[in-house]
Amino acid sequence: MNVIKTDIPDVLIFEPKVFGDDRGFFFESFSQKIFEEAVGRKVDFVQDNHSKSSKGVLRGLHYQKAPHAQGKLVRCVVGEVFDVAVDIRKDSTTFGKWVGENLSAENKRQLWIPEGFAHGFFVLSETAEFVYKTTNYYHQQSDCGIRWDDPNISIEWGNTGNVILSEKDKKHKFLTDLY
């Protein structure tokens, strides 16, 4: 497993070693030991989620408030998405900064998004299936979001001319309105 650092030190890309031949491929998609060595602490995952979305769907930017904050290890198993993590830790030196990575069934990369970050993704392929592990259970009262197009964050999503949002995601506030 290759661990790649991003511009925000706590957000990591995990790139597996893929063994393939004319029969198909094999790779180790998760190792607790390698993961914990990379993030530098013990992490317990408690829930796996799976979503399917059509081209142009943008989900996010989502997070849960403490004490129900979630860390997420995310990957795209069908299609391709542009995946984004935004640092919303008020006392962080990277507060309001974002990193993005194309995740796809082809590159098999995963992104670690620790607690204290908002997360979202934009579907680039005709369809995409997205799976992720979380460090905390879904807690409806702690469920929050930030506008995907917040000008103070200025995420470079690419061509979002016909972006498709849920009603919930259309109502999110700007980051500056949260603090």
Cα separation of 59 and 120, whole Å? Answer: 5
Task: Look at residue 131 and give its three-state secondary structure.
Answer: strand
Task: Look at residue 136 and give its three-state secondary structure.
Answer: coil
User: In the chain, what is the greatest distance between 2 CA atoms, to the nearest angstrom?
Assistant: 54
Angle at 81 between CA 75 and CA 86, to 5 degrees: 80
- Please indicate whether residue 137 is annotated as part of the active site: no
- Please indicate whether residue 62 is annotated as part of the active site: yes
Of 63, 119, 132, 172, the catalytic one is 132
Of 62, 63, 119, 172, the catalytic one is 62
Please provide residue 91's backbone torsions phi and psi, each rounded to the nearest 5 degrees.
-90, 10
Task: Look at residue 62 and give its three-state secondary structure.
Answer: strand
Q: Which residue numbers are catalytic? A: 62, 132
